[in-house]
Amino acid sequence: MKSSPIRTAAGLMLAALAALWVLPAPAAQVVRVGAAHFPPYTIRPENGADTGLLPELVAALNSAQSDYRFELVPTSIPRRFGDFKDGRTDMAIFENPEWGWKDIPHTTADMGLEDAEIFVAQNKPGRQQNYFADLKGKRLALYSGYHYEFANFNADPKYLAETYSATLTYSHDSNLLMVLRGRADIALVTRSYLFDYLLRNEKVRDELLVSQRIDQIYHHYAILSPKAPITGEAFGKLLQGLRDNGQMLKIFDPYKIAVVPVAHQ
């Protein structure tokens, strides 16, 4: 008994669909994201995995799609440039092109996020906001590797030490303690970090005078390698998806990091 053409075609179609069913799904492209200790964005404990806003953002990006798999690669504030140039990382997030990237080939994606760097001093009787107007003759506590606007973004430790009597550390906590103990006159602290610090240390809130003066507004960008498996445009679309579903606000608003309109690329 001969099979009808209709049955034969249907059988072939079912066989083709079955073959497609068993084919493995295309593997997600791995995007390696540099993770430098930069509280509250990345917090690297002595033992255990990184925590902070960067791991939260990466988890949200991975949950929202399957084309890319974002993975954190440990680095440091000073080493992140070399890791990027050597191809160890594909992206640096929460960056700004002004922070030492000018001579390194890259593209950018506006993240639509803003933070700030502010001045903090000991709250002494009679001390007012004009204390922050002039930094001359004051001992500064700074975060090593940061690019500060008041210093024309020159992050050279020797320059900062000689020009601004600066002590450089790798801890905002240490810098604030230096101020509280009188070992430094002014510390510069990321606003998001200070907000979190005061929530964790309410007893010292009245001991600190926080400046209305802002050293700089951090408008955050993603810095992408020309060889990265994702383009700036594609990454921007993924971030827009997180903005649309409320994830960006959920992650960053508790730290008073502003979710702002994205500039046209």
pLDDT in tens, 176-212: 999 999 999 999 999 999 998 998 899 999 999 999 9
Q: How much is the average pLDDT of 2-28?
A: 60
Residue 20 has pLDDT above 60, yes or no: no
pLDDT score for 46: 75
Contact yes or no for 118/191 (Cβ under 8 A)? yes
Structure tokens at 23: 């084919």
Please report, rounded to a whole number, the percentage of residues in the chain having pLDDT higher than 70. Answer: 89
Stretch 134-162: mean pLDDT: 93
* 87, two tokens: 């191809």
CA distance 222 to 168: 26
- What's residue 23's pLDDT? 55
CB atoms within 10 A of CB 233: 10
Q: Could you give the 3-state DSSP secondary structure of residue 171? A: coil
Specify the pLDDT at position 18.
58
Higher pLDDT, 23 or 211: 211
Taking 60 as the threshold, does the pLDDT of residue 4 lie above it? no
Report the C-alpha dihedral over residues 140, 143, 147, 153, rounded to 10 degrees. Answer: 20
Query: Residue 21 — very low, low, confident or very high, per pLDDT cuts 50/70/90?
Result: low
Average pLDDT on 161-170 reads 94
Mean pLDDT of 112-141: 96
Q: Does an H or E element contain 233, and which?
A: helix 232-244
Looking at the predicted structure, is the pLDDT value of residue 137 above 80? Answer: yes
What is the spatial distance between Cα 21 and Cα 16, in angstroms, rounded to a whole number? 9
Position 5 confidence tier, pLDDT thresholds 50, 70, 90: low
